Structure 1
């Protein structure tokens, strides 16, 4: 579990983990320089919980951010199977049991030495735990069954707080490359490149939406409208570049690490100065997002601008 100023909802989440029908052997928590009562709550749970709670020491060099804090947790874990937890959600009592059952079937079929990831849907709740929508994926207009490498590379469908990893997936994901956008997106790519991504189409937890969310799950139409509103007409090309570059750079990092080399070579053509080479390459690779609005936006951005070659641009 990664925490940062999570005092408002933290106890509800830890309580839901400690009520699981299959209890974790350890709850490993990395706090990212909280300034509220988060650490006090964690120390309190260390004393009263039946599940051993191990707290990684707070860094003095400043905040890591969610992505790198989860990377830190994955380095510290030695478990055969790992579930990630946000600080403000609520798990169904049988979440661990259901995901482990799916993982067991997947490991028997593909082998435990393969990097495997099982993920599930979630219901959306508000700050007071009232249901907003029964399905995160339907609310977002996402299709988790589209789980090929290039599909995932362009459109993440995996939420960190709804996944289960095996040991091979953890080890192959580390270290995170500099181009990683989101920790769960990177983990999904690691599993997808090996054909080890599996979706369980039932909600196993409640994904809380509130103003302090790092990412959140606003409806995709609202997100699209906001992005279009934020585009500076005088710098449209740069805005288009920022829209498509991070995901493509992360996908390129995955292909450079795992291959196949021919796919990495084909992907490089997306950085061509020729707009026709970029568009024809994207079409040959079958690049598409979920829904024609998202896909049209991607191709419009690719038409207007060449992706950046560096994650900081």
Structure 2
């Protein structure tokens, strides 16, 4: 059984188009769960009208929260309501390619080791027309993935890669219900729900990326890219916020500990190493100097995973030159 879960909030501008691309799938979902987070625009009415117009009430289920939960908790409750063994996550403003469900479910059925499957995105503008980024051979999936080596059609990502950054937006994801069950029992909204699910799958060696564009990912005023491919280092560094990095690292380490306990991996060597490495990275951000940077550089992941501009910025932080660089860049 195939479920689609969607969390909506003030999405009236594109919601009908998103729903239409779900309805037109070559393999229709068996159920669609839509939870609205107390929208203040016409989103709720548009969804209800769409369900009624297309006589979908037996399979499409819509509800409005009693109070605003925020997107993380709203998605978590939508996931909890799904009954399918294959569960897709959907945003409110994208265009799904007509064969997205069919292709992703078929691949997951063929390869039982896949626990979470993320497809590639095609960027589109507000009118649904394709957008193209400047080419950068080190970036894939519209800038969400940085890889020094070319990606295959299907690539597994380990827990270290997912701890570093998520590989795709949640609207590209298909998960098995086992992941959802663990999320429902353990998720504390430390990190975004989709990132949490990918990390969970990666800890079980089941997080995969399908290098095929199966969704139009809409770029508009409220929706921007995940990873920056801007090569103008001055602008990138000027936007760097150490406090945000500290908060992100703390949340990610909290989520890792949460999942390690849920998956009974507290003493697993991989988990212990990740906690040590990212704990050292957190210590550097909290107290950047040459001594804490030297400790961070001892880990092979630092050399293999970091971009050159990132390593240069780390030196700038250690030498307390960040304010000077920001002033030059402004």
What is the TM-score with the length of structure 1 in the denominator? Answer: 0.79
Query: Is the partner of 1:97 in helix, strand or coil?
Result: helix
Does structure 1 retain, via aligned residues, the 8 Å contact 2:35–2:65? no
Does structure 1 retain, via aligned residues, the 8 Å contact 2:169–2:194? yes
More moved, 12-21 vs 246-255 = 246-255
Give the whole-Å Cα distance in 2 for the aligned partners of 1:268 and 1:80.
31
More moved, 125-134 vs 155-164 = 125-134
Which position in structure 2 is the counterpart of 1:55?
Answer: 62
Give the whole-Å Cα distance in 1 for the aligned partners of 2:275 and 2:93.
39
Change (3 A) 1:212 1:271: closer
Does structure 2 retain, via aligned residues, the 8 Å contact 1:136–1:217? no
CA shift for structure 1 position 265: 3.8
Which of 72, 77, 100 is the equivalent residue of 1:95? Answer: 100
Query: Is the partner of 1:286 in helix, strand or coil?
Result: helix
Which position in structure 1 is the counterpart of 2:311?
Answer: 296
Give the whole-Å Cα distance in 2 for the aligned partners of 1:183 and 1:301.
33
RMSD of aligned alpha carbons: 3.3
Query: Is the partner of 1:180 in helix, strand or coil?
Result: coil
More moved, 170-179 vs 147-156 = 170-179
CA deviations over 1:280-310 (Å, ceiling 9, x no partner): 46743625786514652785599689xxxxx
Query: Is the partner of 2:299 in helix, strand or coil?
Result: helix
Which position in structure 1 is the counterpart of 2:50?
Answer: 45
CA deviations over 1:125-179 (Å, ceiling 9, x no partner): 0111111128961444534746111111112103211111111121122245336
CA shift for structure 1 position 48: 2.0
Which position in structure 2 is the counterpart of 1:310?
Answer: none
Does structure 1 retain, via aligned residues, the 8 Å contact 2:85–2:176? yes
Does structure 2 retain, via aligned residues, the 8 Å contact 1:124–1:136? no
Structure 1 spans left out of the alignment, 5+ residues: 306-313
Does structure 2 retain, via aligned residues, the 8 Å contact 1:278–1:302? no
- Count of aligned pairs: 292
Which position in structure 1 is the counterpart of 2:141?
Answer: 137
Give the whole-Å Cα distance in 1 for the aligned partners of 2:72 and 2:304.
23
Alignment of 1:174-185 (within 5 A): 174-178=184-188, 180-185=190-195
Which position in structure 2 is the counterpart of 1:311?
Answer: none
Structure 2 spans left out of the alignment, 5+ residues: 1-5, 134-138, 321-330
Which position in structure 2 is the counterpart of 1:126?
Answer: 125
What is the TM-score with the length of structure 2 in the denominator? Answer: 0.76
Which position in structure 1 is the counterpart of 2:301?
Answer: 286
Alignment of 1:22-171 (within 5 A): 22-51=27-56, 52-56=59-63, 58-61=64-67, 63-107=68-112, 110=113, 116-133=115-132, 137-140=141-144, 142-143=146-147, 145=155, 147-171=157-181
